[in-house]
């Protein structure tokens, strides 16, 4: 009877009477192959191959027989690996150790296959169902009954598509690491005072930090709307009854009149003098000036004196006269001449008078009364030159409202 290799490790099963005198060698080889099946093997894939076949040899050493099988080589696309024969049933750990960042697809027949990303390892089993054989992810539905009795130590990256606890998805129970949303009253350890790192700050830490905070350097001056300075501050008493002024330069003080005097009830506006010589060199420019309704009465009384005109003040003129005989006429109306007797002539005298001016003195006086009103918007223009214009003092009831503040310095 001939030897067969139908077992899952492809060991030589001697037939009756087979291997006479050599069965010991066959047995030793089988033992070595069993050890090989429990070990580690590597198999290289042809560079950039799209398909690859791993055939476990009958009764001879073969890397594909190893329980942990690592595939190597360089790929530029995904590679489908078929493990033969398709009747072999077994469990294997398969690692994608290829370079090129490509997946490998583990297959045995026309059934299901398993994709292993680069750098990953999966535990799979081959069902050995012949042409329709399938490769199954052995840990796809791994169930651990009591995790409290199991220590799971992961060194590296642990990836899981979906994890449930007692049938509830862990994502609906616990917050994710990125942008977590907590509910209820989450607790965290409280860092010591003064710790400055990226750990979570609890309310206890914040309360302590606020209590220890010193927001203002010693000597800082601040305004407070209260009679006494707050704890840690000292009230200034140097300044009292003063106003505040904004400045872009060095701060200081000034003025001499107290705030309540200058802007209080019955504040006095002092009089003074304006240098200049106001004249009537003003004109009213375009605008409307109307005298409104009102009464304006004018009363004038007095007399104009008489004035005797001198010859020089009389307008220049002459006089005519008739002469009938020789008469010497002298100093008649200021003229002189000789006429002959018996003649009758109308003769004019010499001119007299000088057209000089004259004045009439008067002592007229009067007054105006009434309350007419003016309206309109005329403007004045002109020049004011040297002279004195007095402005009288007056009292204005300003009585401005105010709010009191104090100035305090940080201790």
DSSP state, residue 219:
T
- What pLDDT was estimated at residue 40? 96
| 289-291 vs 374-376, strand pairing mode | antiparallel
Spatial separation of the C-alpha atoms in residues 175 and 171, rounded to whole Å: 7
Under a CB-based contact definition with an 8 Å cutoff, are residues 212 and 193 in contact? yes
Measure the CA–CA gap between 409 and 232, rounded to whole angstroms. Answer: 9
Q: Which helix (H) or strand (E) holds 328?
A: strand 320-332
| pLDDT, position 384 | 47
pLDDT in tens, the chain (411 residues): 578 888 888 888 888 878 778 888 888 998 999 999 999 999 999 999 999 999 999 989 999 999 999 999 999 999 999 999 999 999 999 999 999 999 999 999 999 999 999 999 999 999 999 999 999 999 988 776 666 666 777 777 777 777 777 778 877 777 777 888 888 898 999 998 888 898 889 999 999 888 877 778 888 999 999 999 999 899 999 889 888 888 888 988 888 888 888 887 766 665 554 555 555 554 545 555 555 555 666 677 777 777 777 878 777 777 776 655 555 555 545 555 554 444 555 666 667 777 677 677 777 777 767 666 656 665 555 554 555 555 556 666 778 888 888 999 998
| Alpha carbon distances (Å) from 273 to 267, 280, 382, 387 | 20, 19, 20, 10
Structure tokens at 169: 């998805």
What is the pLDDT, as a whole number, of residue 284? 47
How far, in Å, CA of 135 to CA of 126, rounded?
5
Q: Contacts from 311-314 at CB under 8 Å and sequence distance 24+?
A: 311/352, 311/353, 311/354, 312/353, 312/354, 312/356, 313/354, 313/356, 313/357, 313/358, 314/352, 314/353, 314/354
> 10: closest CA among 80, 71, 81, 83?
83
C-alpha distances in Å from residue 324, one per residue of 63, 177, 308, 337: 189, 157, 35, 14
Lay out the sheet containing 40-44: strands in order across: 40-44, 68-72, 90-96, 121-126, 135-137
């Amino acid at each position: 009877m001939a030897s067969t290799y139908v077992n899952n490790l492809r060991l030589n099963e001697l037939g009756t009477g087979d291997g006479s005198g050599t069965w010991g060698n066959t047995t030793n080889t089988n033992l070595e192959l069993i050890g090989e099946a429990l070990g580690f093997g590597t198999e290289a894939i042809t560079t950039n191959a799209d398909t690859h076949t791993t055939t476990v040899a009958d009764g001879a050493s073969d890397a594909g027989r190893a329980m942990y099988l690592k595939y190597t080589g360089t790929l530029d696309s995904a590679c489908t690996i078929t493990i033969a024969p398709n009747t072999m049933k077994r469990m294997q750990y398969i690692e994608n150790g290829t370079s090129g960042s490509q997946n490998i697809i583990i297959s045995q027949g026309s059934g299901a296959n398993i994709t292993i990303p680069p750098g990953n390892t999966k535990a799979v089993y081959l069902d050995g169902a012949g042409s329709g054989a399938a490769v199954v992810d052995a840990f796809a539905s791994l169930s651990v009954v009591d995790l409290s009795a199991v220590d799971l130590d992961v060194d590296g990256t642990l990836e899981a598509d979906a994890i449930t606890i007692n049938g509830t998805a862990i994502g609906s129970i616990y917050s994710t690491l990125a942008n977590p949303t907590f509910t209820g009253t989450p607790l965290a350890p409280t860092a010591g005072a003064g710790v400055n790192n990226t750990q979570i700050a609890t309310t206890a830490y914040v309360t302590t930090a606020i209590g220890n905070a010193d927001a203002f350097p010693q000597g800082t001056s601040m305004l407070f709307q209260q009679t006494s300075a707050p704890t840690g501050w000292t009230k200034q008493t140097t300044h009292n009854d003063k106003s505040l002024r904004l400045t872009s330069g060095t701060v200081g003080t000034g003025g001499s009149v107290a705030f309540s005097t200058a802007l209080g009830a019955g504040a006095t506006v002092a009089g003074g003098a304006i240098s200049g010589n106001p004249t009537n060199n003003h004109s009213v420019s375009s605008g409307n000036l109307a005298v409104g309704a009102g009464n304006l009465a004018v009363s004038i009384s007095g007399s104009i004196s008489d004035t005797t005109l001198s010859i020089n003040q009389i307008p220049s003129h002459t006089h005519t006269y008739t002469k009938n005989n020789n008469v010497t006429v002298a100093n008649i109306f200021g003229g002189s001449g000789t006429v002959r007797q018996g003649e009758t002539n109308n003769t004019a005298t010499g001119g007299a008078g000088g057209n000089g001016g004259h004045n009439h003195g008067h002592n007229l006086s009067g007054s105006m009364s009434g309350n007419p009103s003016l309206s309109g918007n005329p403007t004045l223009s002109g020049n004011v030159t040297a002279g004195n214009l007095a402005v009288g003092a007056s009292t204005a009831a300003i009585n401005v409202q105010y709010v009191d503040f104090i100035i305090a310095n940080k201790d």
